[in-house]
Chain A
Amino acid sequence: MTIDEVKDALAGYDGRELTLMEVCGSHTRAIAEYGIPGILSPKIRLLSGPGCPVCVTPSSYIDRLLEIGRQPGHVITTFGDLMRVPGSDSSLSEAKSEGVRVDMVYSPMQVVTMAAEEPEKTFVFAAVGFETTIPVYAALVDCIIKKDIRNIRLLLSLKTMPKVIAHLMEGGAAIDGFLAPGHVSVVTGANAFRPLAETYGIPFVVGGFEAKELLLAIYDLVRLQGQGVVKNDYPSVVTAEGNPAASELCDTYFTPADALWRGMGTIPGSGLLLKKEYRRLDMGSDALLSDHKKNAACICGQVLMGKKLPGECPLFAKACTPEHPQGACMVSGEGSCRAYFVYQR
């Protein structure tokens, strides 16, 4: 079989109507960038789920970071993705322009050097992410503990993928198959999705990020419709069991907890917090219980749950644009509204 045959088969599919969901921000962006929805039969509908960590970070998290950053002697450190995410009143980017010290980093491990160079400051890392990034935070915590570093703290907004997928399905989402997140699966292993596949009787296919890899994964989702199975179409880096060393270090320092998802509410057991014995490193992650919309008409929550498409939002491409985002899905380069705005309008 050739990739052209895969493409032709997807274009000519005439079976029952299917709704497939991807739950990875990088997949969202790649699918839009490659124009894949335009290749598919009208009977195959692709939706973007809650797979962009920046998009699901609640406003209270940003508010708390700003509150910490305004305290004397504190430095917020973060990935650049989080800079423009709106809090209740402001974003990290706006606060930085007002004099709050917010330093962007490429890796959390850079903060170890920064903290050693300025021992009089307290460095707070904005630890946001899914299973892909959580091991990096575990490595940072491990370093803090083993080197007895006193001036690094974390504010956590860590979330886990299987729980939110179960939440969507229990909420009645009519999804016929999931494109499982490629880099989350590197850590968790493809088997992490097996209980979901079996419970809901739908296929989960782990896919890569190139156009051919995405087409192949979508083809397999169509081919395996109605079957509660997992297939790994990204075997160069994804195994059945994942990376056990990374998972083990995460289990050493983190414990499951309820988590608040922007626009979606609290999902029991869908997040991680530091274990009690390490909670002294935390800056109040367990108290982030509110989520305010910057604009009341924003439907980011419904978009994240696959209930509405970005173009159905009354703000889309009007009040809400990448230059002036009203919701987090338009902020992130991997947000579904941003991808829809840039590539699919």
Chain B
Amino acid sequence: MCVALPGIVEKIEDNNVIVDFSGNKVRAFGGFCKLAPGDRVLVHAGCVLQVVSQSEAEELESILKDIDVIGGGTPVRDVRSFADEAAGAVL
């Protein structure tokens, strides 16, 4: 039920926006975010919840890179217990 899908803002009319989901255009409530046409947004139940900050590919790459830094470059295949690894990059 908490499924949310990414789409592109096509048009803004006050608090309502038209969001393009791969050609399927849907009206959504946009009052919770500052929006501009062309923004990639996350929509849940007809409501824009957030502007997507970067592509999923970039996101995954950045997190994986982050883990390397945390692990100090230790080859992961040699790690059989993580208990002693230092924590880092937490909020």
* Chain A residues engaging chain B, CB cutoff 8 angstroms: 1-3, 5-6, 8-9, 12-16, 24-26, 52-54, 79, 81, 106-110, 128-130, 132-133, 135-136, 139, 181, 183-184, 186-187, 190-191, 194, 208, 210, 212-213, 216, 219-220, 222-227, 229-238, 240, 243, 245-246, 249, 332, 334
Contact B2 A25 (CB under 8 A): yes
Count residues on chain B whose CB falls below 8 Å from chain A CBs.
45
Cα–Cα distance between A332 and B3 once the two chains are bound (Å): 13
B42 CB, nearest partner CB in chain A, Å: 5
Q: Contacts A6-B76, A9-B77, A13-B80: A26 and B2 contacting too (C-beta < 8 A)?
A: yes
Cα–Cα distance between A246 and B58 once the two chains are bound (Å): 27
Contact B60 A232 (CB under 8 A): no
Residues of A within 8 A of B87 (CB): 224, 227, 229
Contact A186 B49 (CB under 8 A): yes
Cα–Cα distance between A240 and B91 once the two chains are bound (Å): 7
Q: Contacts A2-B64, A136-B47, A186-B42: A130 and B59 contacting too (C-beta < 8 A)?
A: no
Q: Contacts A108-B46, A194-B91: A245 and B85 contacting too (C-beta < 8 A)?
A: no
Q: Contacts A1-B67, A6-B76, A8-B76: A15 and B82 contacting too (C-beta < 8 A)?
A: yes
Residues of B within 8 A of A226 (CB): 83
Contact A236 B59 (CB under 8 A): yes
Residues of A within 8 A of B45 (CB): 79, 106-108, 133, 136
Contact A230 B90 (CB under 8 A): yes
Contact A212 B60 (CB under 8 A): yes
Cα–Cα distance between A139 and B87 once the two chains are bound (Å): 39
Residues of A within 8 A of B31 (CB): 139, 245, 249
Contact B29 A243 (CB under 8 A): no
Residues of B within 8 A of A230 (CB): 90-91
Q: Contacts A190-B91, A191-B91, A236-B54: A132 and B2 contacting too (C-beta < 8 A)?
A: yes
Query: From residue 44 to 61 of chain B, which have CB atoms closer than 8 A to chain A?
Result: 44-47, 49-50, 52-56, 58-60
Contact A109 B49 (CB under 8 A): no
Q: Contacts A9-B76, A79-B1, A246-B49: A14 and B81 contacting too (C-beta < 8 A)?
A: yes
Cα–Cα distance between A107 and B17 once the two chains are bound (Å): 14
Sample of 13 further A-B pairs with CB below 8 A, known A183-B49, A229-B90: A109-B46, A109-B47, A183-B2, A213-B60, A216-B64, A222-B82, A225-B83, A234-B59, A236-B54, A237-B52, A240-B91, A243-B32, A334-B1
Q: Contacts A1-B64, A186-B49, A230-B90: A128 and B81 contacting too (C-beta < 8 A)?
A: no
- Please tell me if B33 contacts chain A, counting CB pairs below 8 Å: yes
Residues of B within 8 A of A194 (CB): 91
Residues of A within 8 A of B79 (CB): 9
Residues of A within 8 A of B29 (CB): 107, 109, 136, 139
